[in-house]
Amino acid sequence: MQDSIDKPVNSAITSGLQPGDDIVPWNPIHVSGPDAGTNACPVCTYGERPAIVIFAQNGPDAGQLAEKLDALVVQQKARQLKGFLIVLGTDPASLKQMASAINAPHIGICYPDPATLAQDLKSYKISPAAKNTVIIYKNYKVSSNFVDLPADRFDEVSEAVSKLQ
């Protein structure tokens, strides 16, 4: 049963796996959070648990989304919600600096492995034109997708998570 089908915030850009698509394994490099210092696959590590993966271009929006995502993961602890922010267009040192400047200890802040970057973005269907792509999944199936979601509308993500069964 499909949980929820949400339309992208900016329908002019299609980015990310769509509701009903299968999530695929991959290995981002974690600079902070529960898997810091590893390249643990979120899909393999956390299995069928609900998760949110945000691919975001480097910039202030990425930090704001990270803090909102962290708060939601804490709020949904009983559901074992996992959260990951994948920052694109940055280097490891800058990402570590960003991670230490924001308050988001409960989520993985990551960047794609440079050796697999192109394949990872292709597998997840991430558009380079998107400022951010939010993918919500559970049981290896995408339930919701948001594109160019402003941090002040993150409650839409919370609502989509609340609909997961």
Model pLDDT for residues 109-158, shown as the tens digit of each residue: 999 999 999 999 999 999 999 999 999 999 999 999 999 999 999 999 99
Q: How confident is the model at residue 5, as a pLDDT? A: 42
Indicate which CATH number applies to the domain containing 34.
3.40.30.10
Q: Is the pLDDT of residue 1 over 90?
A: no
Give me the number of domains the chain comprises: 1
Q: How confident is the model at residue 60, as a pLDDT? A: 84
Closest CA to 73 of 59, 86, 84, 64: 84
In a domain, 10, yes or no: no
In a domain, 67, yes or no: yes
Please give the full DSSP string across 34-73, using - where no structure is assigned.
Answer: TTTTS---HHHHHTTS-EEEEEEESSHHHHHHHHHHHHHH
In a domain, 1, yes or no: no
Mean pLDDT (the chain) is 92
In a domain, 152, yes or no: yes
Q: What is the mean pLDDT of residues 60-77?
A: 95
Measured between alpha carbons, how far apart are the two ends of the chain, in Å? 9
In a domain, 17, yes or no: no
Q: How confident is the model at residue 12, as a pLDDT? A: 79
The Cα 68–Cα 152 span in angstroms is 9
In a domain, 55, yes or no: yes
In a domain, 68, yes or no: yes
Burial bucket for residue 114 (CB in 10 Å: 0-12, 13-18, 19+): exposed
Q: Which domain holds residue 104?
A: 29-162
In a domain, 51, yes or no: yes
Cβ neighbours around 49 below 10 Å, total: 14
Q: Is the pLDDT of residue 59 over 90?
A: no
Taking only the tens place, the pLDDT of each residue in 80-94 is: 999 999 999 999 999
Is residue 11 very low, low, confident or very high in pLDDT (cuts 50, 70, 90)? low
